[in-house]
Amino acid sequence: MWSSRWMFVLAAAGSAVGLGNIWRFPYITGENGGGAFVLIYLVCIALVGIPIMMAEVMIGREGRQSPVNTMRALTQQHHRHRGWVLIGWAGLLAGFLILSFYAVIGGWAFKYILSLADGGFTGATASQATGTFEAFLASPWEMLFWHTLFMVVVVSVIGRGVVKGLETAIRWIMPLLFVLLAVLLGYGVTSGAFGQGLAFMFRFDWDALTDRALFEALGHAFFTLSIGMGAIMAYGAYVPSSVSITNTVITIAVLDTVVALVAGLAIFPIVFANGLEPGQGPGLLFVTVPLAFGQLPLGALFGAVFFILVSLAAITSAISLTEPALAYLVEEYNAKRSRVAVTLGTGCWLLGIGTVLSFNEWAEFHVVGSMTVFDFVDYVSQNLMLPLGGLFIALFAAFALPKSVLGNQLGLTGPVGRKLWLVLAGVTAPLGVLVVFLVTIIGLDNVKAWFAG
């Protein structure tokens, strides 16, 4: 059990805030043209993400076991179809897939601690910073080394048990991370291109909206909030009954969104001030941030600290990615946590090699279309599995659980609150997912043309 409401907020925020906010959000915003993407992402967080996150915490706290066993227990207890348990299984798989590439990018952050600390970026130009990153990507052995190290750290933390290690770690990491992001933001504001960065992120251009942006914004909303695969459900199992789910979830979602927006507002001015390409892809963070710290006094020190914090934020998220599977295996087989952690970690590590090679040796190997192994794993796990998982979680919470559970868990005893919940979890959230999937299948241009008559 978490020791307080605040501890759960920190742990869930530790899960939510990670590479998704600092690495992924800026780079996919860049790839998808900025403003329109950001707006859709915000709408997805508010209308789809928050209700689904509430549903996850509620289900987790009601079942008080790992997601698979929680779903089993709740379906049995309330005589529901056993098919719902698939939510739990799909979540384990999604967590495994996501961790496989997450650990590779976490390794990049590790590597950049050293790269900054040794002063390699002091006074560097944009093309030097880009060159350094490209050289790193071109070396599979080096990437494999850092990937392995990241996985070893994660496995050794989860092997020891979540609550103790996580609580102490998060108490320090989160506040410090905010401080350094604020420093970076300060640099962005004074870099001379803040207005351009701001306009890029918030100028909404309906014509710039593409199906891909729509689809990616939805998937990213799930990814960044850690929902749709049971991580938050697993953490919800440790939440004391007295905690208000609604307030807590809103706090976490706001915190997560603020971190992402601040990261974007810090990074895009650097992009424009240095004539870099906003849509350059996964390297965006690793080119812009060293560049900025390279210009600042004590930049090597602060830059290294920044990547330490990014690494720690990645670790706390990675831990939560394993929790559904870990908790299940421990419950089911009464196995030792440490042994399960090693087995899981090894499997993920092996799969992660595919992502490592996607940036060099296998860059021309395409699983489908133009997708590398990394693109494919990323796409299947977060663009397909998380939204579908979330869709069913919302439906389960809205329609399969009896009223009494809603009353106990959300404190919804009156008809108005209950109706509101039904609208959000039973209608808005699932519909949001379905509409985005449908529009993507039909093609946004066709939809726009249809609306235009």
85: left (phi over 0), alpha (psi -120 to 50) or beta: alpha
Minimum Å distance from CB 325 to ligand PHE?
12
Widest distance between CA atoms in the chain:
66
Interaction between residue 383 and ligand PHE (CB under 6 A): no
| List 32, 75, 224, 383, residue binding ligand PHE (CB under 6 A) | 224
Count of positions on this chain that bind ligand PHE (CB under 6 A): 15
Interaction between residue 231 and ligand PHE (CB under 6 A): yes
| List 29, 311, 320, 355, residue binding ligand PHE (CB under 6 A) | 320
Separation between Cα atoms, residue 312 and residue 177, nearest integer Å: 9
Closest CA to 410 of 54, 3, 40: 54
| List 304, 321, 340, 341, residue binding ligand PHE (CB under 6 A) | 321
Site map for ligand PHE, 21-40, x if CB under 6 A? Answer: x-------------------
Interaction between residue 390 and ligand PHE (CB under 6 A): no
Minimum Å distance from CB 374 to ligand PHE?
16
* Contact call for residues 124 and 287 (beta carbons, < 8 A): no
What sign for the dihedral angle of Cα 309, 236, 7, 403? positive
Interaction between residue 316 and ligand PHE (CB under 6 A): no
Interaction between residue 355 and ligand PHE (CB under 6 A): no
Minimum Å distance from CB 81 to ligand PHE?
26
Closest CA to 380 of 223, 257, 232: 223
* Contact call for residues 94 and 389 (beta carbons, < 8 A): yes
Interaction between residue 381 and ligand PHE (CB under 6 A): no
Interaction between residue 322 and ligand PHE (CB under 6 A): no
Site for ligand PHE in 84-113 (CB under 6 A): 98
Secondary-structure percent of the chain, ordered helix, strand, coil, rounded to 5: 80, 0, 20
* Contact call for residues 149 and 107 (beta carbons, < 8 A): yes
Encoded tokens for 275? 């004539």
Compute CA 387 distance to the chain's CA centroid, rounded to the nearest angstrom.
Answer: 13
Interaction between residue 226 and ligand PHE (CB under 6 A): yes
| List 9, 10, 16, 173, residue binding ligand PHE (CB under 6 A) | 16
The binding site for ligand PHE (CB under 6 A) comprises: 15-16, 18-21, 98, 223-224, 226, 229, 231, 317, 320-321
